[in-house]
Every structure is written in structure tokens, then in C-alpha cells.
Amino acid sequence: MHKAALAAAMMTTLGASPAAAQARPDQKAFFDLYKEMVETNTVVNVGSCTQAAAQVGARLKAAGFADGDITYFSVPDHPRDGGIVAVLKGSDPAAKPILLLGHLDVVAAKREDWARDPFTLVEEGGYYYARGAVDDKAMSAIWADAMVRFRQQGYRPKRTIKLALTCGEETTFAFNGAQWLAQHRPDLIAADFALNEGGGGRLDTNGKRQLLAVQVGEKAAQNFTFVATNPGGHSSAPTPDNAIYELADAIKAVQGYEFPIRFTDTTRAYFSASASRMGGDVGGAITRLLADPADKAADAIVSRDKVMHSTLRTTCVATLVNAGHAENALPQRATANVNCRIFPGETVDGTLATLKKLAGPKVTVTANQPIRPTAVPPALDPKVIEPMRQVAARHFPGLPLLPMMSTGATDGVFLEAIGIPVYGVPGTFIDPATSGVHGLNERIGVKNLYDARDYLFDLVKAYAG
């Protein structure tokens, strides 16, 4: 290989070469911010969200934000889990603010498991690879970059625009910045509505864009502990009364139980659109379910798709088990963790009551701390949805925009608990089968990232006026 070509190839592999999508100076500035954010390790208890927040703050100040427009926050016992809130004041004090929400923390990634260093941004084959390349540093970088550009351009919005980048979204027992803001500084993030992760766009197996999705509502994640206890004894004299068997029976009861089908305005709109798009047996079954959620035959057809199955109802699944204390002793204790994703409007207490009935009298069931708020589905509000559709018509002509409910959970649940509706914005296209989110070799298409940046920048301006 020619030396110049070899050098270029090496730079691309190391992530140092600008992509073709970085033709504009503002795109290069965004890449620098995105790269810095991705390469700052923010795994809880390993890296530092506080450092990442300070880096964002430095860029905001360099763009012209005053000290009074920027608030850093953390708590003494979690000094590395801090975040940042920035405010771009609007010209109309009567217009309610909008909030741009993102999280800085990422899921852990082991170098020995990855094909590339997970904390070095690598550009390869038209993709950016790194932990957080999608979740959630793509959106967090886009939001921070938008605030920088607004200030640099002298843009004066009608509405105040707020940015909140927090830590702790990915870890159940971590200090959660969004929850802390909602409980201790609701004034700082008060907004008419918030824009968050959770939406996006779907690609087919060939990478062609199929549709845009806006997340309108989500489930609440909640863990429960099942415990069976027994006096135990010598394994040479077993008895029918066995903690492991009792726990196994309880887990099997959970496996065999289907929570009832529910619909929100969002999921009803999603399934209605899906029925017309899919047609055939599945489309017909969806139509029957919309008319009669108790139609078991239709449910069986639709629920062959695991995502549709989860979108229809609360789901609970055993994820961890631990039992016994010696190989030659009857078990004295057997425990399991059951992870539930609770449908909007349903409660932790109601789910706990169902699980207790399934477990039976010999197994205790408790809800683990922390207990998340009941998920409150926001409205399919035209003032939020229509600008998404109108701006998308310019950036992604011909693609349908579908409302959807996330089967997972985001920090939006904490804001909705204090009356701030949260919407997962469309615009960022990923292939769920190969994106590596929460898994190995997380990646995002370079062009898809820069196109999402342009779309979301224009969308925020459409809301802000």
C-alpha cells in the first residue's frame, strides 16, 4: 500500500480522520465535542460524569454563556456523578420553556470483549464505534452542540431553552441526576415539555430508512425479590418441602402468566398504523385486538413478535437466581430477582399483588428499592407532534412518523412525575440488530448521526420560535 494511503487508513482506524460528513466547519466542531464526550469514561463507579459535565460547560462558556446561565450539580457522597443544566433565555417571559434532556453515563464495557477500544471513538466502514456512540452521547452531544450554536449565532428564541445532562440513568442503584433535579430543583428544569431519547428511526436490513418514531410514553422498570426459606437438613434425607422447588414453582407461575392487554392513545395509534402497514394474518389479528383486547387467538398471533407482545402489556421475567449453601445440604434459602416493565398507568403495588398471588404462600415477594414512579403517558399533543412531522418532511421526505411506547424505561418517568411531559424525539436512525446498544461494539452510522443533528437543531428552533 502507498505510504499516504496507509497513513490515511491508520488515521481512520484510530478515529482521527474526519468523515466525509464533516465537510462544514460546524460539523467539525460537533465532531470534536462528540469525540470528547464519547472518550470521557462515564461508567458509574469507574469514570466521571462530573468531568464530562465540566467539559460541556467549558464549551458553553466559550460560546458566550454566562456563569449564571450554567448550573453544575452533584451530591457529596457521589461527587463523580454530577451533571449540568444550562439555560438560553427566551424573549417572551410568558412562553413556557422547553427542556432538552440527555444522560452522560454509559453501560460498562470491557476492552477484552470488544473488537476495538470501547472508549476510543473509531470510524470504520461508515460507522462510529464506541461505548455511548448511540446511548446516550449521540443525543447529549447534539443537544449541547445545539446550545453552543444558538449562542454563537446570536439566536434569541421566543421560548427559553433549557439543557439538562444527567448521570445515573443506566444504573439502578446509582445516584440519579434526573430524579434529583425533579425532587430538589424542579424550578431549574421546569418546562412545558421535554425532548429526550427513546424515539428515532428504523432501518431495514439493507440500511434503508423505513420510518420515523416518536416515543410518547414508556414503561416503568421495577425489580422484585422472591424468597423461599426452609430449615434445611442433610441431603441424604430429602423432603418434599424444599426451598429451591418452591422458588422454581413460583418462577414457573410467573413464566406462565400473561398480564392483561392495555392500550394508551399512543399504543392504539401505533397498532392501528401497524395493522394497515402489515396486513395479512398479523394485521387482521391486530385489528381484532384493538376491538377486543381479550381476544386470545388474536393475541397469540400478534405476540409472536416479542416487541409487540411487550408493547401490549406489563411483562415480568426472572433474571437472577441464587439458592442453597452446600452441595450436600438441603437448601435453607432460595432467591430470585424478577424484573418487571410496568405498563403506563399500572402501579408497583398492583404488580406486587399479582406476583404475590402467583408465588403462593410459601414464597415471599417484595418490591426492591428504589421504587420508580408510576409511568404517566403524555398526550399525543399536536403542538409537539406536528412540528416533528413538518420538520421531518423537509429532512426525511416521504417517511411516515409513528408514535410508539418504549418497552424499556428512561429518565423521563421522573420528569413526568412532576408534570413535565417527555417525548422521545425522532431523527436518529439505528439498526437495533447491529447497533450494539448496551452490548458489544456499539455503533452509529456517520451519516445518520449528522443528519439527526441537522434535524434536531431545526426541530428545537421550530418549537422555540
- In order of 74, 396, 411, the CA distances from 47 in angstroms are 15, 37, 20
β-pairing, 161-166 with 401-406? unpaired
β-pairing, 209-218 with 233-234? unpaired
pLDDT of residue 21: 67
Tens-place pLDDT, residues 396-443: 999 999 999 998 889 999 999 999 999 999 999 998 888 999 999 999
Q: Say if residues 214 and 441 touch (Cβ distance below 8 Å).
A: no
Cell of 338: 424478577
Tens-place pLDDT, residues 237-257: 999 999 999 999 999 999 999
- In order of 35, 228, 231, 244, 255, the CA distances from 363 in angstroms are 50, 5, 14, 10, 16
Q: Is the pLDDT of residue 12 over 50?
A: no
What is d(CA 286, CA 291) in angstroms, rounded to the nearest whole number? Answer: 9
Q: Say if residues 249 and 241 touch (Cβ distance below 8 Å).
A: no
CATH 3.40.630.10 in the chain is located at 3-201+378-389+404-464
Residue that the C-alpha cell 469507574 belongs to:
46
Please state which CATH class domain 3-201+378-389+404-464 belongs to: alpha beta
pLDDT of residue 372: 87
Confidence of residue 20 (pLDDT cuts 50, 70, 90): low
Q: Is the pLDDT of residue 120 over 50?
A: yes
CATH 3.30.70.360 in the chain is located at 220-259+314-374
Q: Is the pLDDT of residue 17 over 90?
A: no
Tens-place pLDDT, residues 312-343: 999 999 999 999 999 999 999 999 999 999 99
DSSP state letters, 375-438? P-PPP--HHHHHHHHHHHHHHSTT--EEEEEESS--THHHHHTTT--EEE----EE-TTTS-TT
Please state which CATH class domain 220-259+314-374 belongs to: alpha beta
Entry pTM: 0.90
